[in-house]
Structure 1
Amino acid sequence: MSARTIRRQPVETGVSGWEALAPRRFPARALEGGQSADWLIVGAGFGGLSAARRLRQLRPQDRIVVLDAQEVAIGAAGRNSGFMIDVPHNLTSGNYSVGGAASSLLEISQNRMAIAFAAGIAEEYGMPATTFDPSGKINAAATERGLRLNRDFARSLRQIGEPSETLDAAQMREITGSDYYLGGVRTPGAVMIQPADYIRRLAAGLAGEVDLFENSPVLSLGRKGAVWEAVSTRGSVQAPRVILAVNGHVESFGHFRRRLIHVYTYASMTAAFPGGAGAERWALLPADPMGATLRKISHGGQSRIVVRTHFTYNPDIRVSERQVARIAAQERRSFDERFPALKSVPMEFSWAGALCLSTNHVPAFGEIEPGLYSACCENGLGTVKSTLAGMMAAELATGTDSESLRQFRRQPPPARLPPEPIAWLGIHSVIRWHQLRAGREG
C-alpha cells in the first residue's frame, strides 16, 4: 500500500464568537485503535455532516465513520457569517448581478435544494430561530455606487422572475438603527443560521447513527486493493469508500493542486448589549461583495453585532494573530462609523476564517481516485455549497441517480492557476483593487 502523508493540518486563528456561544451537547471522542467501516468521511463541517446524513438516508444499515482534525465547529464551519443564500452570490465577479438565465436558475434550484435539506435537519432536531431563521437577507448600500449595484441586482433578479424588495434610507434606518445606509434590496429566500450551533446540533443529532471522532487528524491516507486506510494520531480507519469534505485542504491530500485559491476573511463580534441598533435581528450583505457584512443577533434581551470585512490571499492556509488584530482594528472603525452610539461596546471576539475559491467558480467535486470522492471548494458560500456538495457526493458514491446529480457533475474542474509569484501578485492585486473600490461599503 502506498500511502500519502498529509503534512498540512488546519490551523485556526482567533476565537470565533459563534463557536464560543454554541454549547456542546455531546462528549468529544478521539479515534483509538483500528476501526473498519463501510464509509469514511474526512471533515465534520457542512459538507461532511451533510454527506453523513444523506448516506444515512440512502444506506441506513451501513457503518459511517467521520473524522475531524479539530473539535466540531472550531474550524471553518463555525467561522462564517451564517448566511444560507439561495440567489447567485459570486464573490469573484465584483457584483452579485445574475448571469445567464439558465445557469442562474439552475444555481438557485441547487441552492434551494441544499437549504431545504438543511431545513429538514433543523425541523427534525428542533433547532430554534436563533439557530435557523428563514428571515431573508438585505443587500445594504452605503454609497451611490452601492445603490447602482443594488439596482442592477434587483433588475437581474426580475429578469428571471425572482422577487426582491427595494428599501429606502428611512426603512434601512428603522431596521438597523443606523443612518449609514442609503438603501437596500431584500431577498426573501435566504436563511440566517448560527453556524457553530447548527453544526453542533447536527452532529448531536447524528450521534448513535454515525461514529464521529474529533481531534483525530488524518496523517496519511492510502489504498490497498479495494480498501482505503486513514491513519490518525492514535488509531486508523479502513473503509472501501472515502469522502473528503475538507474544503481547501483537499490540496493537502494531493488533489486539485494549483487549482484552488485560499482566501481568508475576518470577523469581530461585540460583547452583549441591551437594546439599540434597530430591530431584534437583521442580516446585511454589502452591495459590493468586498464590503462589510453585518448581522445583529438577540437572545434574552441582550444583543450582539457581528461585522465581517476584508479578504486576504493565503496560499499556505493560515494567518497570524497579528493579521487578525490588525483587521479587527479596521472592523472596530467600520462598526463605529455605522453605530456611533455603541462606541463604548467592546468587541469580545475576533477571528479569521478560510474560504476556498476557484477562478471559474466551480467546486472540486467528483470521484478523484477509485473509491475516493471530493466534496470541496465552496466558492465563498460554504453553508449552502458545502451542504450541496456533501449531498451530491453521497449520491455519487452510492450510485444514486438523480437529475440534480447529473447537473452537478456537468461542471468542469477548477481551472489551473498560474505559477507563483504570478498568482500571488495577480490575486492580491485584484483583492486590493476591489477593496479600495468598495470604499464606504467596507
Structure 2
Amino acid sequence: MNHHTIKRLPVDTGRSGWEAISTRRFPMQTLESDVRADWLIIGAGFAGLSAARRLSQLRPGDKVVLLDATEVAKSTAGRNSGYMIDVPHNLASGEYSVADEKATALEMEQNRLAIAFAAEAAAEYGMSKETFDPSGKINAAASERGLKFNRNYAASLQRIGEKHELIDLKQMREITGSDYYLGGLYTPGAVLIQPADYIRGLAHGLGSKVNLYEHSPVLELTRQGKDWKARSNRATVTAPRVILAVNGHVESFGYFRRRLMHIFTYASMTAAFSPKEFGSRASGADRWALLPADPMGATVRKISSSGLSRIVIRTRFTYDPSLQVSTKRIAGIAAEQRRSFDARFPELQRVPLEFSWAGALCLSRNHVPAFGEMEEGLYSACCENGLGTVKSTLAGMMAAELATGTGNRDLETYKDQPIPSRLPPEPFAWLGINSVIRWQELRAGREG
C-alpha cells in the first residue's frame, strides 16, 4: 500500500460554541508551494499538535510540517466537552471502567502522563485558568441508580488508593443551583479545558518550531523511494517520515478498515447570561463541571468570564460510519437538550441555546488505539476511544517517540497492545451498535 488516494475528508456539522467564543492569535496560511521537511504530521488536533511538540523536544533541529484539512479548533478537537480525565472513562461499555484493578491503574498512569505533558505546554505557552484549569470534576447522579454507580465507583477508587469525595444533595444544590441532582462523586485529578482555546494556544506556542498549513487537505499520499509525498490542493510536502493524527479518518487512508466505530455525540451551549439577573440560586457557582454517573447520560459544564456565564450540555450518541451527520439531526437533538436543560435549570428557561453541534469520536471494540508503524516511515496515532483530549495527546507523544527511536518504559507499555478487533459487516454493525447505544441511553433514564 505505497499509494493512498483520500476521497473522504472531514465534514463538521454545526458551529462549536467553544470555537465561536475562542480568540485566534496567529495568522492562517495554506500550502501554496512544494515543501520538503524532515517530518510531516497530518491532522492538527490533540494528537497531531502533541506529536509536533514532542518532536520539537526530541529533534529540535528538524523541520516539521503539519497539514490540516480544515482550520485549527474548528474540527473535532474543538468540539469535545473539555475534560482531561485521569480516571478510566469507557464509553463503548456504558461504564467508566471494564478492566481489572491492575489495568485500571495502568490506564490512569498513562492518562496522567498525557495530562502532565499538556500541563507543561499550558504553562510554557501562558494559557490562562479559563483555558486550562486543574480543578477536578464531579460525577453527578440524578437517580438512585446513579447514586449506586457512584458508590460502586467510590469503592473501586478506595481499593486502589485514589482520592475522592462523595457529595450529598445539599452540596450539589449549592454547586450547581439545581435541585435535579441527588449526589455526586468528586475526583481531583481531572483538568478542565476550553478545548478550542487550548488547541489554538498549543498551535500558537509551536509557531516558531512547526510549519502549520490549514485548509490543506491531503488528497494523495505516495511512497517515492525513501520518502513520502503528500499532495494537497495546490502543492506537495515531501518527508521521509509521516505521522497520521487523523483519528477515525485513518480508515480514509486505507488502514484499520472495518475495525473502527465512528460515533458522534452532540452538544449545545447557551447564550451568555448574567447570573445576577436570575440570582445565584439559578445556576450556582461561577464554574463547575459534571460528568454523568452513567456515562451515557448528560455532561454539563458552566463557565464564567467578565460577569457573564454560559452552560454547555452534551447528550446522545449515534454510530455513523459515513463520518458525517445532518443539520436536521442536530436540530432534533438540540430540542431534546433544551428539555434536558430546562429540567435541570427551570429558572433559566428564557436563556437560549446559541450554538449546537456534533463531534466525532472513534472507538474500537477491544478499547485499544490504532497505533504503530503502518509502513516504513508511516506511523498512526489514531482512535482515542472516547477520551480524545487525553488519549490523543498520549498517542501523539508516543508516535513521536516511536518514530524517533526514543525507547522508554512508557512507550514499551503503550505499544504492547493488540490491533483493534474487526467489526461485523454492514448493515449488521449499524443496526447492532446503534441499538446498543440507544438501549444504554434509555437505561440511563434521568441521568440523560
TM class by smaller structure: over 0.9
Q: Which amino acid aligns with 2:290?
A: L
3-state DSSP class of the match of 2:92? helix
Q: Tell me if structure 1 keeps the 8 A contact 2:167–2:184.
A: yes
TM-score, normalization by structure 2: 0.98
What is the aligned counterpart of 1:297 among 285, 300, 303?
Answer: 303
Letter in 2 for 1:299: S
Secondary structure of residue in 2 paired with 1:33: coil
Q: Distance in 2 between matches of 1:175 and 1:69?
A: 40
Q: Would the aligned equivalents of 1:95 and 1:287 in 2 still touch at CA under 8 Å? A: no
Q: Cα offset for 1:233?
A: 0.2
Secondary structure of the equivalent of 1:233? coil
Identify the residue that residue 208 of structure 2 maps to in structure 1.
Answer: 208
**1:116 corresponds to:** 116
**Correspondence 1:285 to 2:291:** yes
CA deviation string 1:208-242 (max 9, x = no partner): 21000000000000101110000000110000000
Match of 1:242 in 2: 242
- Greater mean alpha carbon deviation, residues 423-432 or residues 46-55: 423-432
Does 2:424 match 1:436? no
Task: Summarize the Cα distance change of 1:228–1:97 in structure 2 as closer, same or farther, 3 Å threshold.
Answer: closer
The reply on whether 1:271 has 2:271 as its aligned counterpart is yes
Shift of the alpha carbon at 1:97? Answer: 4.3
Superposed, 1:313-332 pairs within 5 Å as 313-332=319-338
CA distance in 2, matches of 1:346, 1:425: 34
Once residues 158 and 97 of structure 2 are traced to their aligned partners in structure 1, the CA distance between those partners, rounded to angstroms, is 11
Count of residues in correspondence between the two structures: 442
What secondary structure is seen at the aligned counterpart in 1 of 2:289? strand
Aligned to 2:227: 227
Q: Quick one: distance in 1 between partners of 2:2 and 2:435?
A: 40
Determine if contact 2:384/2:392 at 8 Å carries over to the other structure: yes
CA distance 1:160–1:54, change in 2 (3 Å): same
Q: Distance in 2 between matches of 1:100 and 1:432?
A: 27
Aligned pair 1:56/2:22, yes or no? no
Q: Whole-Å Cα distance in 2 between the matches of residues 333 and 375 of structure 1? A: 38
Q: CA deviation at 1:363?
A: 0.3
Q: Is residue 395 from structure 1 mapped to residue 401 from structure 2 by the alignment?
A: yes
Q: Which amino acid aligns with 1:116?
A: A
Q: Equivalent residue for 1:46?
A: 46
Q: What pairs with 1:11-410 in structure 2 (closer than 5 Å)?
A: 11-97=11-97, 99-275=99-275, 276=280, 277-410=283-416
Q: Deviations over 1:49-81 (max 9, x none)?
A: 000000000000000000000010000000000
Contact 2:90 2:98 in 1 (8 A): no
The whole-number CA distance in structure 2 between the counterparts of 1:52 and 1:285 is 30
List, as ranges, runs of 4+ consecutive aligned residues in structure 1 with deviation greater than 2 Å: none
What residue number does 1:5 align with?
5
| Distance in 2 of aligned mates of 1:290 and 1:109 | 24
CA–CA distance in 2 between the matches of 1:95 and 1:6?
35
C-alpha separation in 2, matches of 1:176 and 1:389: 34
Deviation at 1:92, TM superposition (A): 1.6
Query: What is the distance in 2 between the residues matched to 1:193 and 1:333?
Result: 26
Structure 2 residue runs of 5 or longer lacking an equivalent are: none
* One-letter amino acid of the counterpart of residue 313, structure 1: Y
Whole-angstrom CA distance in 2 between matches of 1:166 and 1:282? 16
Contact 2:77 2:199 in 1 (8 A): yes
Cα-to-partner distance string for 1:132-188 (whole Å, 9 max, x where unaligned): 000000000000000011111111111111111000100000000000000000000
CA distance in 2, matches of 1:96, 1:204: 34
- The range that moved more, 418-427 or 39-48, is 418-427
| 2:11 counterpart SS class | coil
* Amino acid of the structure 1 residue aligned with 2:122: A
TM-score by length of 1: 0.99
Structure 1 residue 3, shift from structure 2 partner:
2.5
The CA distance in 2 between the partners of 1:153 and 1:299, in whole Å, is 33
Residues 1:2 and 1:404: Cα distance change in structure 2 (over 3 Å): closer
Maintained 8 Å contact 2:11/2:324: yes
Taking only aligned residues, the RMSD between alpha carbons, in angstroms, comes to 0.9
Deviation at 1:367, TM superposition (A): 0.3
- 2:53 is aligned with what amino acid? R
CA contact (8 A) 1:98 1:156 kept: no
